[in-house]
Structure 1
Amino acid sequence: MTNQKNAPVDRGAVGLIIFMLGLGTLLPWNFFITATEYFEDRLKERTSLGGTNGTSPATKNYNFASWMTLLAQLPLLLFTLANSFLYQLVREKIRIAVSMGAILFLFILTAVTVKVEMQPDSFFSVTMATIWFINSFGAVLQGSLFGMIGLLPPKYSTLFMSGQGLAGMFASLASLLSIISNADKATAALGYFITPCVATLVTLLCYLLLPHLEFARFYFVNSKPEATNMLPSSEKEKEALANVDLDGYKNKPVLTKGDLEAIGNDDNSRSSVLAVFKKIWVMALCVTCVLAVTLSVFPAVTVRVKSVYKNKEWDRYFVCVCCFIVFNFMDLIGRSVTCMVQWPTKASRWFPSLVLARVVFIPLIMFCNTGDRQYILFCHDGAFVAIMTLFALSNGYFICLSMSYAPQLVRSKDCETAGALMTFFLALGLSLGAALSFLLRSMI
């Protein structure tokens, strides 16, 4: 690495852009899951029209929430896996720019379909296809950005994850505003889906600006393999470097734990995918477990929870406020807290233990007021909000720690591979949770 005295100072511009990039990567998913009620209501409206020749109204259960979750996560898993091995074949700029452009186009298409009359089966198919392709491009975008941000100090990974947390809050507030407005459903939905179009365009502009900033350019250039020729090799220098800011929460060039272990090694080539995985497998399995638990019940089960109060006005807001806004706000808090607290440490056994303990949230949410069932332990709205608060807080906190710790365990030249692998396991957790949601939803 180059001398620390040569490092430029980030006065906030790079941090803001990284935060915006995080916001942009999860906007597509969050805008779709937050609009679950819009899609389900529209399908109900269409099916209630009935068949032709005076037949009675049709009733068809599309199981929209579970199918949406599954068809969002499968392409995320497949394309993230492809990105883990093929990222060297296509330039990063092309991958990111094309992905953002495609997502923007698909959101515009979604906004257009709001005003288009369609049969329920056709509307369902078009929506599912849109979700599939948006998440395919989103997988490439997310994997590429995680790899790129892995070249920066770890605090920028935290900022990126916090931006992803804000994406959910952003979508939830947009949904709330559409409910509050006095506009008809079609007009409100149109405004709702135009919002991420603008946000995606801003995200693309932020990405194009990033390489022109001195701080970002410094790290991107000095993370190339040839830059590691400047690593010191003497025992004295190794001892001195042991006190370097390895967590990267200052504006200094960072030597990762993997760099320190590699000092004196003349091999400047990238490590194999398997070699990188052997160093980060604990973090990879942790992020998989966290998201498998979360997606198994959110949103497929949580949107079925009903308010204990028989108030039609409150019923309009209950799911949006107590499910999506509470979850996304506390998820954002959980991600943001990691800027100040990083406990347990990446080497602690408490870390995977606490991650596994999150499984308890599945029965807790299942026993909330999800319908006319015999076994309801937590019927009050306050109990549901309390469970969702802890559920979301732990989700954001452990995801952010896992994604921030992984690049610190490998050499800086392997950070892109580590980022791509972590994104794959993130997608694996989402897919496993989505598949499990079918079973859990059928039980309520």
Structure 2
Amino acid sequence: RARTMHPAAGSFPPDEEPLIEESTVTRYSQHKPSDRLHGTYVIFFLLGIGSLLPWNFFITAKHYWMYKLQNCSDQAGPAGQAATSDLQDFFESYISIASTVPSVLCLIGNFLLVNKVPASVRILSSLFVMLAVFLVITVLVKVDTSTWTTRFFALTVVCVVIVSGASTVFASSIFGLSSCFPMKNLQALISGQAMGGTISAVASLIDLAAAADVTDSALAYFLTADIFIVICVMVYLLLPRLEYSRYYMSSQKESPSLATVPPDSSAEDEAEPGDTTNTSFLAKSTSIPPLRPILQKTALLGFCLFYVFFISIIIFPSLSSNIESVSKSSGSLWSTKYFVPLTSFLLYNLADWCGRQITAWIQVPGPKSKLLPILVLLRTVFLPLFILSNYQPRAHIQTVVFNRDVYPVVFTVLLGLSNGYLGTLVIIYGPKIVPKELAEAAGVVMTFYLMLGLAVGSACSILIVHLV
């Protein structure tokens, strides 16, 4: 679920400087080609969308999951109804746990294998696994599961576990690959990730409006995901065929970015322009990158990243998507059909995208500022704001303070903006404050903090939802 690394100072223009410094021989012995028709930029943008596509398509198809999980309540007795009601009410929380916990484990595995298994193998295998799982989900759309709803739910959770693990390997691998490209391509990857949620929300709205039947809408929706994963495979295979890409990918092979460095490395936070750090130890290695110097330097930023996504996953989608329009009883299309897709999913993803885009121009507060953790901790206030909105069903806290539709709209926009801005800002800073040769490894570690926040937050979201 994220994200980026910041270029170190050097002789390139800001948007053309590789994150991992090239060797002197490579840099001056080859003519640096241009990115014709912005082909590489577009490819990284599409791969960015694909890296978060499974998660976005799973959580945005709320109407479809509610339809599938209510079918047995039409035919089962009271016990069956109770079980199904539980699946419906807490579905997002269950899916969040099934998505984030295996993602943490796969991220650790990817860190251990990053110097042992080629990036192309990790990227293509994860894409094919995602495609296979989504094809299964697409086929199940038209299968009558009303007599085995609980087993269908269990199968869905297994699919989420598999596809989330694969997408985590894909996302972290593609970020590792992009570390040898100029910063503008990293920005394309970040923009693509943020745009993925918006695209899934828009696709869901279009399918809802165009199809009268829920299953027809879901079929078109998941077919869109299948097609996009195939597009990701095709554009990734196209990447090494572009001269611009070959230039930077060949430099990565000659000077691997994840190298073994002494654990007590005393390199400065940022090398001066023109500084030639001793890279005699940057020989090819299959060793695991050292963790201690990375953890020491990124501890505070890691906590900030953990807490940003801890709060976000508790609220979105478990709380936010269950906030109903106060005029739902009117029966209007806005209040019954489009309120949640628009105010929860589309608004949040648009705001998140805007927050990430702002970091391209504004990067304050700085990585060592005391204001940064304060802003991160202030996001805790979103919890009572959403709980006291028109969340339904309510079992314990009956008071609804914010009883107008405009309140959850404003809260969702602020939640998305702060998530996109602060989350991306912290990830930008992580690889920037460690020695250059540890930049990619630091990026993986920062992603681990992010996934840990999502995993712990998704577990807590079930508790919060039960308490409400």
Matched, 1:102 2:120: no
The residue type equivalent to 1:303 in the other structure is S
Q: Which residue number in structure 1 is paired with residue 48 of structure 2?
A: 22
The residue type equivalent to 1:440 in the other structure is I
Alpha carbons of 1:150 and 1:301: their partners in 2 closer, same or farther (altered >3 Å)? same
Q: Which residue number in structure 2 is paired with residue 393 of structure 1?
A: 417
Q: Which residue number in structure 1 is paired with residue 281 of structure 2?
A: 267
The residue type equivalent to 1:108 in the other structure is L
**For the residues of structure 2 that align with 1:67 and 1:374, how far apart are their CA atoms?**
24
What whole-Å deviation, never above 9, does each CA across 1:302-329 have from its counterpart, x for those lacking one?
1111111133222211110010010011
Q: Which residue number in structure 2 is paired with residue 86 of structure 1?
A: 113
Alpha carbons of 1:112 and 1:267: their partners in 2 closer, same or farther (altered >3 Å)? same
Q: Which residue number in structure 2 is paired with residue 437 of structure 1?
A: 461
**For the residues of structure 2 that align with 1:72 and 1:337, how far apart are their CA atoms?**
28
Alpha carbons of 1:413 and 1:215: their partners in 2 closer, same or farther (altered >3 Å)? farther
- CA positional deviation for 1:423: 2.0
- CA positional deviation for 1:350: 2.4
| Alignment of structure 1 residues 67-86 onto 2, 5 Å | 67-86=94-113
Q: Which residue number in structure 2 is paired with residue 33 of structure 1?
A: 59
- CA positional deviation for 1:36: 2.5
Given that 1:14 and 1:216 are in contact with CA atoms closer than 8 Å, whether structure 2 keeps it comes out as yes
- CA positional deviation for 1:284: 2.6
State the SS of the aligned residue for 1:58.
helix
Given that 1:225 and 1:413 are in contact with CA atoms closer than 8 Å, whether structure 2 keeps it comes out as no
Residue 81 of structure 2, aligned match among 54, 58, 68: 58
Alpha carbons of 1:288 and 1:260: their partners in 2 closer, same or farther (altered >3 Å)? farther
Residue 7 of structure 1, aligned match among 32, 38, 45: 32
Q: Which residue number in structure 2 is paired with residue 362 of structure 1?
A: 383
Matched, 1:328 2:349: yes
Q: Which residue number in structure 2 is paired with residue 160 of structure 1?
A: 189
- CA positional deviation for 1:353: 2.4
Q: Percent identity?
A: 31
Given that 2:64 and 2:215 are in contact with CA atoms closer than 8 Å, whether structure 1 keeps it comes out as no
State the SS of the aligned residue for 1:59.
helix
Residue 429 of structure 2, aligned match among 397, 405, 417: 405
**For the residues of structure 2 that align with 1:434 and 1:22, how far apart are their CA atoms?**
23
Given that 1:158 and 1:335 are in contact with CA atoms closer than 8 Å, whether structure 2 keeps it comes out as no
Q: Which residue number in structure 2 is paired with residue 148 of structure 1?
A: 177
Matched, 1:213 2:242: yes
What whole-Å deviation, never above 9, does each CA across 1:112-153 have from its counterpart, x for those lacking one?
001112211111111111101000111111111122222223
The residue type equivalent to 1:33 in the other structure is I
Could you tell which deviates more after superposition, 117-126 or 316-325? 117-126
Matched, 1:295 2:313: yes
Given that 1:111 and 1:193 are in contact with CA atoms closer than 8 Å, whether structure 2 keeps it comes out as yes
Given that 2:50 and 2:229 are in contact with CA atoms closer than 8 Å, whether structure 1 keeps it comes out as yes
The residue type equivalent to 1:30 in the other structure is N
**For the residues of structure 1 that align with 2:374 and 2:349, how far apart are their CA atoms?**
24
Given that 2:389 and 2:408 are in contact with CA atoms closer than 8 Å, whether structure 1 keeps it comes out as yes
Given that 2:67 and 2:214 are in contact with CA atoms closer than 8 Å, whether structure 1 keeps it comes out as no
Given that 1:84 and 1:424 are in contact with CA atoms closer than 8 Å, whether structure 2 keeps it comes out as no
Given that 1:297 and 1:440 are in contact with CA atoms closer than 8 Å, whether structure 2 keeps it comes out as no
Measured on the aligned residues, the alpha-carbon RMSD in Å equals: 2.5
- CA positional deviation for 1:404: 2.5
Matched, 1:384 2:408: yes
Alpha carbons of 1:226 and 1:130: their partners in 2 closer, same or farther (altered >3 Å)? closer
- CA positional deviation for 1:419: 2.6
Alpha carbons of 1:15 and 1:343: their partners in 2 closer, same or farther (altered >3 Å)? farther
- CA positional deviation for 1:401: 1.9
Matched, 1:177 2:206: yes
Segments of 5+ residues of structure 2 without an aligned counterpart are: 1-21, 258-267
TM-score by length of 2: 0.82
What whole-Å deviation, never above 9, does each CA across 1:183-208 have from its counterpart, x for those lacking one?
31111111111101111111111212
Q: Which residue number in structure 2 is paired with residue 337 of structure 1?
A: 358
Given that 1:33 and 1:299 are in contact with CA atoms closer than 8 Å, whether structure 2 keeps it comes out as yes
Q: Which residue number in structure 1 is paired with residue 322 of structure 2?
A: 304
Alpha carbons of 1:256 and 1:24: their partners in 2 closer, same or farther (altered >3 Å)? farther
- CA positional deviation for 1:74: 0.7
Given that 1:158 and 1:404 are in contact with CA atoms closer than 8 Å, whether structure 2 keeps it comes out as no
**For the residues of structure 2 that align with 1:46 and 1:190, how far apart are their CA atoms?**
21
Alpha carbons of 1:433 and 1:288: their partners in 2 closer, same or farther (altered >3 Å)? same
Given that 2:356 and 2:424 are in contact with CA atoms closer than 8 Å, whether structure 1 keeps it comes out as yes
Alpha carbons of 1:137 and 1:147: their partners in 2 closer, same or farther (altered >3 Å)? same
Q: Which residue number in structure 2 is paired with residue 200 of structure 1?
A: 229
Given that 2:256 and 2:282 are in contact with CA atoms closer than 8 Å, whether structure 1 keeps it comes out as no
Given that 1:15 and 1:159 are in contact with CA atoms closer than 8 Å, whether structure 2 keeps it comes out as yes
Instruction: State the aligned residue count.
Output: 416
The residue type equivalent to 1:311 in the other structure is S
Residue 112 of structure 1, aligned match among 127, 139, 147: 139
Given that 2:40 and 2:239 are in contact with CA atoms closer than 8 Å, whether structure 1 keeps it comes out as yes
- CA positional deviation for 1:47: 2.4
- CA positional deviation for 1:367: 1.4
**For the residues of structure 2 that align with 1:398 and 1:8, how far apart are their CA atoms?**
34
State the SS of the aligned residue for 1:66.
helix
- CA positional deviation for 1:223: 4.1
Alpha carbons of 1:75 and 1:56: their partners in 2 closer, same or farther (altered >3 Å)? closer
Residue 276 of structure 1, aligned match among 283, 294, 309: 294
